[in-house]
Amino acid sequence: MRIPVPEQILPAEELGRVHFVGIGGAGLSAIARIMLARGISVSGSDGAASPTLDALAAAGARVHVGHAAEQVADADTLVVSTAVREDNPEVVAAYARGLRVLPRSAGLAAVMADRRVVAVAGTHGKTTTTSLLTTALVAAGADPSYAVGGELAQLGTNAHDGAGREFVAEADESDGAFLVYSPHLAVVTNVDADHLDVWGSEEAYRAAFEQFLDRIEPGGTLVASADDAGAAALLATARERGIRAVGVGESPAAAWRIHDVSFAGTRSTFALTGPDGADALGPVTLQIPGRHYVVDAALALTAGLLLGHDADALRSGLESFTGTRRRMEAKGEAAGVRVYDSYAHHPQEIVGDLQAARSVAGEGRLLVAFQPHLVSRTRIFGTAMGTALGAADEVVVADVYLAREEADPAVTGALVAGAVPLPADAVAFVPRLDDVAAELVRRARPGDLVLTLGAGDITTVGPMVLAGLAGLAGLSGLSGSGSGDVGSA
């Protein structure tokens, strides 16, 4: 549901009692947490019970499972998720009563009022880069406020109301939310067409990022990847408009150069050289694997330095970072098989995560289970998704996670599976997630790495795989059989 952004966004403290429709989601739960920390009366509803709802209730929110008009009886303001339908009874009741109704973007802007905003945008890597920068600033003693689209593993939350000047926010382009914020410093990880169901064309999508430049405060700064063609073009446009623009990457055009990159298992190492030719920092050793995460960390480091924070403290924060939920997250190991889970749902994200997974897998095989996300995205990028999955040894593709769209019998996971350039016996289209888990258990061997990918509920498959492998290992031990393949047919 698209809710219009009001011309004037009031500070959070002036919104009265705030009710969140879809409070269990990453975006709304973050805003709710910050409002609760400020003593604002918060209520909310979601379609299903979850640990997020439990945590919000423990923090003082009144939460409901399910939506009903009477749940907004004492609300002054509604903040509504884009996933909510127009006939939602709470939204209908709010409009009937003349309540203030805000989209997620306006709710976030309300809690960012009077702070120095650092907005992290881009097609891929927003959550990780926001998380890295947040962790680095915490280590530097900045005590930033932050709102992230995923839970930071070591901090155990996706939001915090800090006492410092900075407010670090993940700035989502999918629904135009990033065009509501006014950052002092904007970070753009990359610009690669996505969400074309919203924007209509690649040209319109890229034009939105050019509009984002106009949201940067006078005297503010853009930090962006000089290695990504879309972000590099944005840097050039920013300079034409008189905006301070700082490129980061391995490209000779980058003001801050990444070099001496290496990978070993789950670790990535790099150094960063500033415009004066001296090493700003190096080496920096991350606890997360993959070249795309090196770029994310370099962007975060550069942003922290430009904000005036201590280099060694920032490095310490980056090196302590243990990841974000659902971003190359280790789920466990059973019967000699390691299981990871990640959020990748776009072809470029799949490429990056499979490169990282190869480093982690070492000599073992890489088995990937992928769940396409959205009919519209699968229709446009399904073939490219399949091509990217060809970097695995074996692939299992589930059916499309529908989210806010209706099913299309012509667009299923079979479209992706059919495009995977591997032998037929190394690829399977398995629509149901329960069956996906069983198929992975059947295929897995000791030493393999299993990676579940997708923005939907594919994240539930990893624990099922671990349980299935553990069960097989137990049966093998009871029967006294040898050490053959755990998942052999």
CATH of the domain at 237: 3.40.1190.10
Q: Are residues 32 and 131 both part of a single domain?
A: no
Residues 260 and 128 in one domain: yes
Q: Does residue 4 fall inside a structural domain?
A: no
Closest Cα partner for 128 from 294, 265, 241, 275? Answer: 294
Q: How far does CA 241 lie from the centroid of its chain?
A: 30
Taking a C-beta distance cutoff of 8 angstroms, is the pair 469, 486 a contact? yes
Burial label for 255, CB within 10 Å (0-12, 13-18, 19+), is: middle
Q: Is 331 a catalytic residue?
A: no
Closest by CA position to 147, among listed 189, 178, 102:
178
Q: Reply yes or no on whether 127 is catalytic.
A: yes
Instruction: Give the H or E element holding residue 12.
Output: none
pTM for the whole structure: 0.77
Torsion angle, alpha carbons of 189, 119, 342, 203, to 10: -50
Spot the catalytic one: 77, 90, 126, 135.
126
Does one domain contain both 299 and 192?
yes
For residue 430, the tally of other CB atoms under 10 A from its CB is 19
Characterize 163-179 residue by residue with b for buried, 16 or more Cβ atoms within 10 angstroms of its Cβ, and e for exposed. Answer: ebebbbbbbbbebbbbb
DSSP string, 281-349: EEEEEESS-SHHHHHHHHHHHHHHHHTT--HHHHHHHHHH---BTTSSEEEEEETTEEEEEE---SHHH
Q: Specify whether 286 is located in the same domain as 363.
A: no
3 assigned to some structural domain:
no
Q: Are residues 51 and 156 in the same domain?
A: no
Q: Are 190 and 266 contained in the same domain?
A: yes
Closest C-alpha among 103, 102, 84 to residue 45 = 84
Residue 125 in marked binding region: yes
123 is in an annotated binding site: yes
Give yes or no: 170 in active site: yes
Instruction: Please identify, among 42, 77, 108, the residue that sits at the C-terminal boundary of a domain.
Output: 108
Catalytic residue among 127, 130, 221, 459: 127
Query: Per the annotation, does 82 bind a ligand?
Result: no
Q: Which of 108, 141, 169 is the endpoint of a domain?
A: 108
Burial of 332 (0-12, 13-18, 19+ CB in 10 A): middle
CATH code of the domain covering residue 33: 3.40.50.720
Tens of pLDDT, residue by residue, the chain (489 residues): 788 899 899 999 999 999 999 999 888 999 999 999 999 999 999 998 998 999 999 999 999 999 999 999 999 999 999 888 889 999 999 999 999 999 999 999 999 998 999 999 998 888 889 999 999 999 999 999 999 877 776 667 889 999 999 999 999 887 788 899 999 999 999 997 665 566 668 888 889 999 999 999 999 999 999 999 999 999 999 999 999 999 999 999 899 999 999 988 778 899 999 887 765 677 999 988 778 889 999 999 999 999 999 999 999 999 988 766 666 788 889 989 999 998 877 888 888 889 888 888 888 899 999 999 888 889 888 999 999 999 999 999 999 988 777 888 888 999 899 999 999 999 999 998 889 999 999 999 999 999 999 888 899 999 999 999 888 766 555 444 333 333 332
Decide: helix, strand or coil at residue 25.
Answer: coil
According to DSSP, the β-strands at 77-80 and 62-65 are unpaired
**Does 345 share its domain with 234?**
no
Residue tagged active-site, from 90, 151, 170, 439 = 170
**End-of-domain residue from the set 320, 344, 362:** 320
Residue 77 annotated as part of some ligand binding site = no
Task: Judge contact between 192 and 206, C-beta under 8 A.
Answer: no
Is 56 contained in some domain?
yes
Domain extent for 165? 115-320
Domain match, 99 and 126 both? no
In the chain, the number of structural domains is 3
In terms of domains, do 307 and 179 share one?
yes
Q: Which residue has the tokens 């960390």?
A: 297
Q: Is there a single domain that holds both residue 358 and residue 457?
A: yes
Cβ atoms 481, 348 nearer than 8 A: no
Residue 126 annotated as part of some ligand binding site: yes
